[in-house]
A and B are shown apart, each in its own frame.
Chain A
Amino acid sequence: MINLETPRKFRGLIAQARQVAGQYYRPISRKYDLAEHDYPKELDMLAALLDGMNAGSPESAGARTSKRQSSEHEEGVRNGSNLSTCLGIMELCWGDVGLLLAMPRQGLGNAAIAAVANDEQLKRFDGIWAAMAITEPDCGSDSAAIRTTAVRDGDHYVLNGEKIFVTSGARAGAVVVWATLDKGLGRAAIKSFVVEHGTPGMEVTRLEKKLGIKASDTAAIRFSDCRVPAENLLGNPEVDVAKGFAGVMETFDNTRPMVAAMAVGLAKASLDRARELLQDHCALDYRKPLLSVSHAEAQLYQLEAEWEASRLLTLKAAWMADNRLPNSKEASMAKAKAGRMATDVALKCVELCGLSGYGEDELLEKWARDAKILDIFEGTQQVQLLIVARRLLGKSSKELK
């Protein structure tokens, strides 16, 4: 039964997340935009609250609670944690993307652990705050080309290499690090390791100054003969050339819709505010033909249509994950469309509001700066298009580079 309305059972969660966004994030948004690298300590209390809510209900407003699909089968269509997480994120990012990214215990690494850890690891790492370290100075989009190495030595792996752009890399308690067991074996040899801060040989070397999402720290981390317990390797330690990259890449099928959801939330904030500022000049009733309305009204309509299409693509990708349908293509479709939409919408809203949009008295200019990252991390626009095109055209990554 086709239905694209927000499921009733998530209304409570959405209202909750909207409260957090409006009452908690918005009032401190500008403060941490101006004070880059200061830790938003207000988040600690909020995180504790969210932990409590998460424990209390399986579908509450946590940002990164996308759990591994339970193996038990349920009858019929499912609306589960992927969908609820995306809906929650949309609301929270209506508040502030940077603050959401800075939330304790909601790191990308947590999503990776949730996706690929075994039961023992899930238990051991429960409650940890984990960042995700894939990117290196010489490799970003081509994540199969990473050079950080992991060499087995008794009960440990010894890690060497440099990671950059690690979101929450300095603040999180641990980092999930991608490293290769054997550079000669390509993708299949790449494994992820949970490395806890304080492990000798692991050092945060710098924090980036950025265009936006300044509330979120972005760290460079060096690993020099860093010894990590062997049981911290996530997933299967064997190098399975046939299965290859699939293991570590699976995480993206769940996290890309989440980044798309961030884009949807942020764009909605821009649109809502622009409409407020323009309300005396633009009466939007969805009745007049586009050709007969003012230019500003037409722009607002067009932006809203782009936004709505992105939102539905995002919900579709999450819904597929909830229903165990393979969703790599749809996850990338959502991320591609939502990523570019957010930048377009946020920039256009600044333009539509003129000098008010540009000034720091409003948050519009901040959202336009924040938006850009959403079209870059978790795979750039171009990388998403590559994934979608390869699937559509039946091409390998060798054929369509």
Chain B
Amino acid sequence: MLMQLQGRALALLNKIAGAQWPDRLRLRKPIERWLYQGSKTSFSLMTQRGGQSRPRPASSANPSGLFDLTLSEDQRLLQDTLQQVAAELLRPAAADADHNARCPAELRASLAELGLTHYGVPQAHGGLADDAACVTGALLTETLAHGDVSLALVSLQGLSVANLLRRFATASAQAQWLPALLTENAPQIALALAEQQVLADPHRLRCRAERKGKGYVLSGSKAMLVGGAEASHLIVSAYADGEPALFIVERNSAGVSCRAQPAMGLKGAALAQVQLTKVRVPQAARLTDQHFAYQQLLDVLALGGCALAVGVAQAALDYVIPYVNDRHAFGEPISHRQGVAFPVANMAIELEGVRLLLWRACARIDQQQSFTREAYLARLQAEDKLMRIASDAVQLLGGHGFTQEHPVERWYRDVRGFAVLANSLVL
């Protein structure tokens, strides 16, 4: 086991060591530091547990129970590294991705080399997920979304699927799919969960799976999924035997049709609609059993949306501050006026409030406590406050904010897609 884990880290290191882009972007040093730390920690974790890979009980995750907002050494390094990835890899590619409505293949490959999927795969299956996985996931999601939310979504699909399988799939489904996610030619799995109906209620899915022989027949339609066009597989939510269930479906199965579904924003994520017409799948395609905690899936999806939108809102705040200091009107920087300065203050206040709600919910997940209430409240504040932040960002740039010379108009369009964000990423 120990050997295997080290082997994993080495393989990951090797892959990045061979890649060109870290040098081009002066990212090699931070990435090396991060990998070193990552393998060191998981190594010491393993020795502590004498090679056992069972997660530590909740109590030991925070033995003192103290209120604490300090990131672990691991988390800080990961954040440092991904901040640079976001700034040097994602942000420069964001405008084109928005314009062309896709993430360039080369960028996709570079992002895959980061190996973020490891953070969602349990150590037993060769990954690095630990008992702070959800908080870590929220952090890295926010950090990447600061570069660009669409590209972050694309880069985090593997992690998201790993998280979904780890948290909700049956042991056999995990064994079948999780190790595969870490391989060179990992399946490209897209989440197909949201349905397009007004006043959509995820507890009233329209998509159905009827038992037939030894398998199921799936029918229904799913909207605004990320990476649908490029996917090899889809994970579809549907009612089966009267309860919600998840199925994995090959994208080119008979009866699956997919079309681009462009929207107001999130264009770089190449949103797609999928139609399932009497799609036959085997019994093994059902990833969940009767113990499936569907509500919890909805909750972690909402938190994924929060983390993504927090990243965008932070980007907006960081963009606005130097702008309003440099921009002059009426003989002084516009930031000298309260009509400008106060919205900036409020952006920071509300953003921090949402981030703390998000962290609380995620930390509760890591501690194996209930989190439905916390996720719900985080979502409410996120949807309301973060949209306001993106809107104020455009406002504070005036007419310039309305043009595509600045990214704020894109962030305005992206954050309005909260309903998509909250169906696209499992933390």
Which residues of A in the span 84-141 have a Cβ within 8 Å of any Cβ on B? Answer: none
With A3-B367, A5-B363 given, is the CB distance from A286 to B325 under 8 Å? no
* A313→B352 contact, CB < 8 A: yes
Chain B residues whose C-beta falls within 8 Å of the C-beta of A390 in the assembled complex? 341
Contact A393 B335 (CB under 8 A): yes
Question: Which chain B residues in 207-238 approach chain A with CB under 8 Å?
Answer: none
B344, B350, B364, B376, most chain A CB atoms within 10 A: B376
Q: How far is the CB of B138 from chain A (nearest CB, A)?
A: 9
| Contact digits for A1-38, partner B, Cβ 8 Å, 1 yes 0 no | 11111111100000000000000000000000000000
* Distance in angstroms between the alpha carbons of A400 and B340 in the assembled complex: 10
Given contacts A3-B67, A301-B376, A393-B341, contact A388 B336 (CB under 8 A): no
- Known pairs A385-B346, A389-B345; A289 contacts B201 (CB<8 A): yes
Q: Does A394 contact B (CB under 8 A)?
A: yes
* B145 contacts partner chain A, Cβ-Cβ < 8 Å: no
A288 vs B348: C-alpha distance when bound (angstroms): 29
Partner of B65, one of A3, A290, A393: A3
B70 adjacent to chain A (CB < 8 Å)? yes
- Tell me the smallest distance from the CB of A80 to a CB of chain B, in Å: 10
Q: Decide: A393 and B363 in contact? CB cutoff 8 A.
A: no
- A392 and B345 contact, CB distance less than 8 A: yes
User: Considering the complex, which residues of chain B in the window 273-315 have a beta carbon less than 8 Å from any beta carbon of chain A?
Assistant: 295
B76 to chain A, nearest CB (A): 12
A309 within 8 A of B: yes
In whole angstroms, what is the CA distance A302 to B357 when docked?
Answer: 13
Within 8 Å CB of B350, what residues of A? 309, 337
Q: Which residues of B contact A301 (CB under 8 A)?
A: 376-377, 380
Which positions 40-84 of chain A face chain B at CB distance < 8 Å?
77-79, 83
Asked if residues A386 and B377 are in contact (CB atoms below 8 Å), the reply is no
Question: A134 CA to B19 CA in the complex, in Å?
Answer: 64
A316 touches B69 (CB 8 A): yes
Cβ–Cβ contact A1 & B68, under 8 A: yes
Assess whether A287 is in contact with B203, with CB atoms less than 8 Å apart: yes
- Give Cα A310 to B357, complex, Å: 10
Binary interface encoding of chain B residues 111-136 relative to chain A, with 1 for a CB under 8 A from any of its CBs, else 0: 00000000000000000000010010
CB of B356 within 8 A of CB of A313, answer yes
Query: A292–B204 Cα gap in the complex (Å)?
Result: 12
Q: Which residues of B contact A388 (CB under 8 A)?
A: 345, 348-349
B3 at the interface (CB under 8 A from A): no
B257 within 8 A of A: no
Instruction: Flag B346-363 by CB within 8 Å of A: 1 or 0 each.
Output: 101110111011011011
Identify A305's interface contact among B61, B135, B325, B377, CB under 8 A.
B377
**Is A312 an interface residue, CB under 8 A from the partner?**
yes
Given contacts A309-B356, A393-B324, contact A1 B203 (CB under 8 A): no
Q: Which of B68, B200, B349 contacts A337 (CB 8 A)?
A: B349
Q: Are B348 and A392 in contact (CB-based, < 8 A)?
A: yes
Chain B residues with CB below 8 A from A83, complex form: 67
Cα of A143 to Cα of B352 in the assembled complex, Å: 28
Residues B70 and A79 in contact, CB atoms below 8 Å apart = no
- List residues 163-215 of chain A with CB under 8 A from any CB of chain B: none
A231 to B223, CA, bound (A): 74
**A residues in contact with B333, CB < 8 Å:** 399
B373 touches A392 (CB 8 A): no
- CB-CB under 8 A from A393, the residues of chain B are 321, 324-325, 335, 341, 344
Interface 0/1 of A296-336, CB less than 8 Å to B: 00000110111011101101100100000000001001001
Q: Would B336 and A389 count as touching, CB distance under 8 A? A: no
Q: Does A152 contact B (CB under 8 A)?
A: no
Closest to B374 in A: A308
CB-based nearest B residue for A322: B67
Chain A nearest Cβ from B310, distance in angstroms: 12
Please, which residues of chain A bring their CB within 8 A of the CB of B357? 305, 308-309, 312
Q: Does A281 contact B (CB under 8 A)?
A: no
- The CA-CA distance from A400 to B333 in the complex, in Å, is 10
Residues of A within 8 A of B332 (CB): 399
How many A residues, CB 8 Å from partner?
Answer: 50
Once the chains are docked, how many angstroms separate the CA of A301 from the CA of B342? 26
Q: Does B105 contact A (CB under 8 A)?
A: no
Residue in B65, B70, B353, B374 whose beta carbon sits within 8 Å of that of A313 in the complex: B353
| Complex CA distance for A308 and B203, rounded to whole angstroms | 26
Q: Does residue B20 face the partner (Cβ distance < 8 Å to A)?
A: no
Q: Is B381 an interface residue (CB 8 A)?
A: yes
A269 to B216 alpha-carbon distance, docked (Å): 52
Instruction: Flag whether B254 is at the interface (Cβ < 8 A).
Output: no
**Chain B nearest Cβ from A191, distance in angstroms:** 30
**A291 sits at the interface (CB 8 A):** yes
| Of A1, A292, A312, the contact of B132 (CB 8 Å cutoff) | A1
Report yes or no: B65 in contact with A8, Cβ–Cβ below 8 A.
yes
Given A312-B356, A392-B348, residue A305 in contact with residue B381 (CB < 8 A): yes
Closest CB-CB distance, B124 to chain A, in whole Å?
A: 23
- State whether A313 touches B68 (Cβ < 8 A): no
User: Are A286 and B372 within 8 A (Cβ)?
Assistant: yes
Judging by beta carbons under 8 Å apart, are A312 and B65 in contact?
no
Tell me, rounded to whole Å, the shortest Cβ–Cβ distance linking A222 to chain B.
34
Q: Taking the complex as formed, is B30 at the interface, i.e. its CB lies under 8 A from any CB of chain A?
A: no
Instruction: Determine if B183 is an interface residue (Cβ-Cβ < 8 Å).
Output: no
Q: Name the CB-closest residue of A to B381.
A: A305
Inter-chain contacts of B175 with A (CB < 8 A): none
B69, A2: Cβ atoms closer than 8 Å: yes
Q: Report the minimum CB–CB distance from A300 to chain B (whole Å).
A: 11
A291 CB contacts on chain B under 8 angstroms: 199
Is A395 interfacial (CB 8 A cutoff)?
yes
Contact of B70 (CB < 8 Å), options: A1, A306, A337, A400: A1
The reply on B1 being an interface residue by CB < 8 A is: no
Chain A: minimal CB distance from B199 (Å): 5
Is B202 interfacial (CB-CB < 8 Å)? yes
Interchain CB contact (< 8 A) of A336 among B201, B321, B345, B367: B345
Q: Which residue of A lies closest to B366 (CB)?
A: A2
Q: How far is the CA of A290 from the CA of B381 in the complex (A)?
A: 12
Do the beta carbons of B380 and A302 come within 8 Å of each other? yes
Known: A292-B201, A309-B354. A304 touches B377 (CB 8 A): yes
Give 14 pairs: A residue, B residue, CB < 8 Å, sorted on A: A1-B70, A2-B135, A2-B362, A3-B367, A5-B364, A77-B68, A286-B376, A287-B376, A289-B199, A305-B377, A313-B352, A333-B348, A337-B353, A385-B342
**A residues apposed to B, CB below 8 Å:** 1-9, 77-79, 83, 286-292, 301-302, 304-306, 308-310, 312-313, 315-316, 319, 330, 333, 336-337, 382, 385-386, 388-390, 392-395, 399-401
Other A-B pairs beyond A7-B64, A288-B201, A313-B356, 11, CB < 8 Å: A1-B132, A4-B360, A5-B360, A5-B369, A287-B203, A290-B380, A292-B201, A301-B380, A305-B377, A395-B335, A400-B336
When A and B form their complex, which 9 residue pairs have the shortest distance between CB atoms, in order from nearest? A309-B353, A312-B356, A389-B341, A4-B360, A286-B376, A388-B345, A305-B380, A8-B65, A389-B345
